[in-house]
Structures are given as C-alpha cells and as structure tokens.
C-alpha cells in the first residue's frame, strides 16, 4: 500500500511548477485571458507545452505521446489549476482520452499524433443542454449515406470551441450511440465561443449542418464507454479544481498575514482563521478522493465511478464555497478587478456544473451505494 506519488511524479510536478512560475505568472494569466480579440490562451504557450510533452501525457508512445497514466495527469493538471493557466489543455486531454477509450486504428493514427504534438487542438463536444451530460442527452443526429455519415445538430458548452481543430462528438445514429471525429474545417461545421465569467476558460457552441464524415471518422460507442469518457473528463477537471482551490487558500492565507486591522494581522482573529482552516480541510478531503479516483480509472475500473462522483460532488461543493470565502475574507479589495481573489471565484463557478454538479454526483453516489 502506498498512497503517495513516485519520485518521477514529484519531478514532473516540479518541472510543471517551474515552467508555469517562469512563463505564466498571474500577470501573464491576465494578459492572455483579458486580451481583446484574443483566443483565451496563448499560441506560444501552446507550442511550448507541446514541446514539454504535456499535450501527449496520456497518449501512448506509439502515437507520439509519453504513455503515462491518470495519476500522472492529475499531477500536471493540479499545477495548471493552481496557476489558473489559460489553455485548452484540459479539454484537449479529455478529447485524447475519449479517442483512447473507443477509437479504432484509423482515428487513432489520424488524430493522436497531432494531438500529442499540438498541431491539432482537440476538444470533447459532448454536452447539448445546460444539465449534466450523459447518454440520454445525446441528440446530435447521424444519418448513414452510403459509407458516409451525415451529422445534423449541435453541441453546446464545448470548451474552446472556436480554437479547436477537432471535435470529438458523441452522436446518435441508426444503431445507437457512436463517436465522431469532426475536423473543424469540414464543410458545415461552425463554431463560436460565448462570453463567459471565467476568462481563462472558454465555452461555446458548434453546429453541424449536414457535415459529411467518412466511415473511418466514426467509432462505435456504448453507454458504458461514454460514461467512462465522462469519468475521465470529470477526474481531470477535479484535478484542476484541487490546484485552483489550493491556490485560492494560499492567496487568502497570505493576505490574512499581511493585512493589518486593529493593530494585528487579520489572520490572528478566529473569524478569519477558522474559515481558512475549513477551506483547507475541504480541499484536503476532495484531494484524496481525486487521487484515488484517478488511480481507480487505470487500476481498478469497477470502483472508479463511485469515487469519481464522490470527488466531483465534494469538489463542486467545496470549491464553490472556497471561491466565495476567498473574496469575502479579502474584504472590499476582494471585490475589485485588481486583486486576484475573483479569478478563483470565477473558476469555481465555471468548474461546478461541468460534467455534473454536486447534486448530480451525490445522486449517482447514492445510486451506486445501493440506495
């Protein structure tokens, strides 16, 4: 039994941390995400992290990736979350995970090397309605035409829709569910980003207006595989939430040490000290669940769904509260654009509903626990 990281994983964490500290400190996060007409991320960063191997972390070596596992991915995403790193990295990685779950040789060979070297930006286009995604919510329609499939419909709440080169999109065909690999430049595809609260994360809409796909752009999909894809995405997201929540706690604790009122740092008063301790307790608790869920995805898949849902349920609930408390404990400056507290609050609002909120996942925990 060993519930800790390996030396290699600690090394990976240190490298990721170092790159982010040097290349994307908070003023750079703001410059990139607040840029008028920007894409919400930096193409220079994208090239750099591709070279560092972050984009192909879980892609097998035969397809140009590093062939690492979900726990390694957690290490990477915890750190990018801590920095509120503006990047399509998360959705890109989840798209690769979807391909690894169900795609056949044709789609793997066509897309995985491009995803691993960053020449294509991928995203998982699964959601259509505001409620949590799942097999029942897949309405995008695929009609067979000879060997081809014609897609009609739309996906919404798609991360970095405008920048993506590849949409990995579940649809409903004549034989039930299937997964399409849709290049963004295919005729009939239109994508746009919507304005959002969290400028470091983009969400948008993709419409498929009679998009013709060859048969080898489609992989078979069943409910269990789709659920697995969603669980991979959920866990990757919660890893970012661990880092971002810890970032919020660290920022607020630092402020509480510096800010003097009544002749003393406010962190000396229990009215400030205790909420901060509770924030720490909450992060530590969902962090353990995230780590274990990630381990289960690779090593004990039967256990994974329960722990993935426990992790997201607690993460959504706790991070939302942490975001609010971080702003509140800063006092009036927490309300300003200038101080960073609101960036974490906005991230918590973005992360809470993605892949299902607390209510959704607690219900799943109840069901899987025999209720």
Partner 1 sequence: MDFTLTAEEEAFRDEVRAFLAEQLAPGVDKADPGFLAGWHRAVREKRWVGFSWPREVGGGGGSLMEQAILKEEMAKARAPSLGSCFMGLAWVGPALIAYGTEEQKQKFIPDILDGKYQWCTGYSEPDYGSDLGSLQCRAVREGDEYVVTGQKIWTSIAMWSKWIILLVRTSLHEDDKHKGITCLLVEMDSPGIDVRPIRNMGGGAMFAEVFFDGVRVPVENRLGEEGQGWRVTITALAHERSGIAEVESLLRGLEGLKALAAETGRAEEPAVRQRIARVETRIQAMRLNGLRALTRQIRGEPLGSETSVNKLTRANLEVEMGDFALELQGAAGPLVAGAEPVADGGRWQRMALGWPEVVIGGGTPNIQKNIIAERILGLPKD
Site for partner 1, rule CB under 8 A: 1-6, 71, 249, 253, 256-257, 264-265, 267-268, 270, 272-274, 276-278, 280-281, 284-286, 288-289, 291-292, 295, 299-300, 307, 310, 313-314, 358-359, 362-363, 365-366, 369-371
Select 192 or 359, whichever has its Cβ closest to partner 1: 359
Other residues' Cβ atoms within 10 Å of the Cβ of residue 314: 24
Shortest approach of partner 1 to residue 206 CB, angstroms? 33
Q: 323 — phi, psi (to 5°)? A: -60, -45
Shortest approach of partner 1 to residue 205 CB, angstroms? 31
What's the rounded Cα separation, in Å, for the pair 276 and 232?
30
Locus of tokens 């140009």 = 64
Select 285 or 328, whichever has its Cβ closest to partner 1: 285
Select 206 or 314, whichever has its Cβ closest to partner 1: 314
Q: Which residues on neighbouring strands pair with residue 195, listed in sequence order?
A: none
DSSP line for 274-330:
HHHHHHHHHHHHHHHHHHHHHHHHHH-TTTHHHHHHHHHHHHHHHHHHHHHHHHHHT
Shortest approach of partner 1 to residue 175 CB, angstroms? 34
Shortest approach of partner 1 to residue 74 CB, angstroms? 10
Shortest approach of partner 1 to residue 256 CB, angstroms? 6
Locus of tokens 């101080």 = 339
Select 5 or 339, whichever has its Cβ closest to partner 1: 5
Shortest approach of partner 1 to residue 281 CB, angstroms? 5
What's the rounded Cα separation, in Å, for the pair 202 and 361?
23
Shortest approach of partner 1 to residue 235 CB, angstroms? 14
Select 220 or 331, whichever has its Cβ closest to partner 1: 331
User: Residue 71 in 3-state DSSP?
Assistant: helix
Select 172 or 273, whichever has its Cβ closest to partner 1: 273
User: Residue 7 in 3-state DSSP?
Assistant: helix
Select 23 or 285, whichever has its Cβ closest to partner 1: 285
Q: Are strands 260-261 and 264-265 parallel, antiparallel or unpaired?
A: antiparallel
What's the rounded Cα separation, in Å, for the pair 12 and 233?
21
Shortest approach of partner 1 to residue 295 CB, angstroms? 5
What's the rounded Cα separation, in Å, for the pair 162 and 364?
32
Shortest approach of partner 1 to residue 227 CB, angstroms? 18
Residue 304 Cα distances to 4, 146, 365, angstroms: 18, 39, 11
**Do residues 285 and 238 make contact, with C-beta atoms less than 8 angstroms apart?**
no
Q: Give Dmax over CA atoms of the chain in angstroms.
A: 79
Other residues' Cβ atoms within 10 Å of the Cβ of residue 13: 17
Select 126 or 249, whichever has its Cβ closest to partner 1: 249
Determine the distance from the C-alpha atom of residue 207 to the mean position of all C-alpha atoms in its chain, rounded to a whole number: 22
Select 202 or 361, whichever has its Cβ closest to partner 1: 361
């Amino acid at each position: 039994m060993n519930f800790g990281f390996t030396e290699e994983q600690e090394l990976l964490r240190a490298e990721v941390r170092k790159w982010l500290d040097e290349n994307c400190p908070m003023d750079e996060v703001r410059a990139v995400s607040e840029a008028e007409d920007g894409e919400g991320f930096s193409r220079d960063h994208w090239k750099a992290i591709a070279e560092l191997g972050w984009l192909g972390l879980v892609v097998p070596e035969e397809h140009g990736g590093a062939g690492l596992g979900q726990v390694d991915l957690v290490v990477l995403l915890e750190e990018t979350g801590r920095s509120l790193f503006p990047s399509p990295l998360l959705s890109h990685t989840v798209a690769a995970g979807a391909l690894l779950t169900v795609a056949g040789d044709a789609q793997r060979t066509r897309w995985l090397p491009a995803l691993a070297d960053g020449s294509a930006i991928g995203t998982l286009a699964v959601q259509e309605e505001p409620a949590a995604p799942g097999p029942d919510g897949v309405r995008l329609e695929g009609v067979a035409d000879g060997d081809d499939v014609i897609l009609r419909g739309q996906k919404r709440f798609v991360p970095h829709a405008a920048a993506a080169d590849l949409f990995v999109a579940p649809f409903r065909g004549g034989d039930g569910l299937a997964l399409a690999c849709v290049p963004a430049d295919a005729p009939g595809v239109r994508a746009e980003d919507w304005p959002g609260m969290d400028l470091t994360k983009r969400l948008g809409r993709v419409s498929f207006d009679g998009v013709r796909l060859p048969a080898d752009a489609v992989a078979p999909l069943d409910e269990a595989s789709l659920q697995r894809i969603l669980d991979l995405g959920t866990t990757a997201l919660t890893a970012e939430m661990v880092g971002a929540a810890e970032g919020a706690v660290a920022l607020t604790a630092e402020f509480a040490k510096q800010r003097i009122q009544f002749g003393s740092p406010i962190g000396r008063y229990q009215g400030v000290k205790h909420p901060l301790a509770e924030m720490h307790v909450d992060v530590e608790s969902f962090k353990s669940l995230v780590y274990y869920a990630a381990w289960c995805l690779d090593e004990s898949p039967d256990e994974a769904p329960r722990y993935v849902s426990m992790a997201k349920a607690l993460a959504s609930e706790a991070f939302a509260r942490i975001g609010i408390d971080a702003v509140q404990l800063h006092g009036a400056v927490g309300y300003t654009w200038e101080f960073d507290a609101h960036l974490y609050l906005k991230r918590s609002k973005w992360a809470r509903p993605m892949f299902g909120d607390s209510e959704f996942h607690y219900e799943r925990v109840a069901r899987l626990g025999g209720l």
